[in-house]
Amino acid sequence: MSKSEKLAVIWSSRDKDVAEKVVLMYTQGAKMKGWFEDVVLIVWGPSTKLLAEDSELQEKVSGLMKAGVKVKACSVCAGEYGVAADLENIGLEVIPMGEPLTSYLKDDWKVLSF
């Protein structure tokens, strides 16, 4: 796989419109339309709380995971908001994300941030 086929999307916004109309929509297209082979959605910062509290967004993220998008949440961020267990319960991998993100950047993944 060429490096250009790997995409990491950082979702940090707590704005639901940004989540629905930009982050999740683009991430879905990137995977399902084959724009990128590997697609990772990183739930970071305020988006951890938004996702933990919003069942509609949880359903959309579940659909992304079923389509093959890897979804990871920052454990430090989730811990700050007290939602780590909630995110694990909906199937997210909740881990410290600083090192994985650094690897994506050094391995020349395309990184998009919202």
DSSP H or E run through 94: strand 93-95
Q: Strands 110-113, 6-11: parallel, antiparallel or unpaired by DSSP?
A: parallel
Per-residue pLDDT tens for 11-27? Answer: 999 999 999 999 999 99
The predicted-structure confidence for 41-75, as pLDDT tens digits, reads as follows 999 999 999 999 999 999 999 999 999 999 999 99
The domains located in the chain, with CATH, are: 3-113 (3.40.1260.10)
**pTM of the predicted structure, to 2 decimals:** 0.94
Note the pLDDT of residue 3.
46
Instruction: In whole angstroms, give the CA distance from residue 110 to residue 76.
Output: 23
Q: Is 106 exposed, middle or buried (0-12, 13-18, 19+ CB in 10 A)?
A: exposed
Place of tokens 């995971």: 65
